[in-house]
Amino acid sequence: MAFFAGHDGDMRTATVAALRDQLSEYLRLVEAGESIRVMRRSKVIAELHPVRPETPEEAERQALKQLEREGVVTLGKGRMPVPDFPFSGSEETGLIEAVLAEREEGW
């Protein structure tokens, strides 16, 4: 994206003028998990960071989004359907026993 003022290692940098001119774009990046170092006359004067997650689920979601930005994972766009696996065990034997029995049978 052309609006970035620069990139300093793992953190993006922006001059005060660039931040003022494209504040909405920079805030969108912060909301997406990015951190931005604000520079005035080649000196760091501030850093913008996302707010810490309030719940463990939100922390997990943010971590997955970061991995997606880094190209490590690709997140799905919907819910994955639960496959209809045949279950040969009874309620008394339970799922673990049924899986072990199938392993022994050479499934």
Q: Which of 86, 83, 79, 22 is nearest to 14 (CA)?
A: 22
The residue-averaged pLDDT of 69-90 equals 77
pLDDT in tens, 49-75: 988 888 999 889 888 988 998 999 998
- The pLDDT mean for the chain works out to 82
Rounded CA gap, 3 and 56, in Å? 33
Rounded CA gap, 106 and 3, in Å? 58
pLDDT of residue 68: 92
13: which strand partners?
6, 37
Q: Can you give the residue ranges of every domain in the chain? A: 1-53
pLDDT of residue 86: 65
pLDDT of residue 4: 52
Contact 15, 22 (CB under 8 A): no
Amino acid at 22: Q
Predicted TM-score (pTM) of the model is 0.49
Superfamily of domain 1-53: YefM-like domain (3.40.1620.10)
pLDDT of residue 29: 92
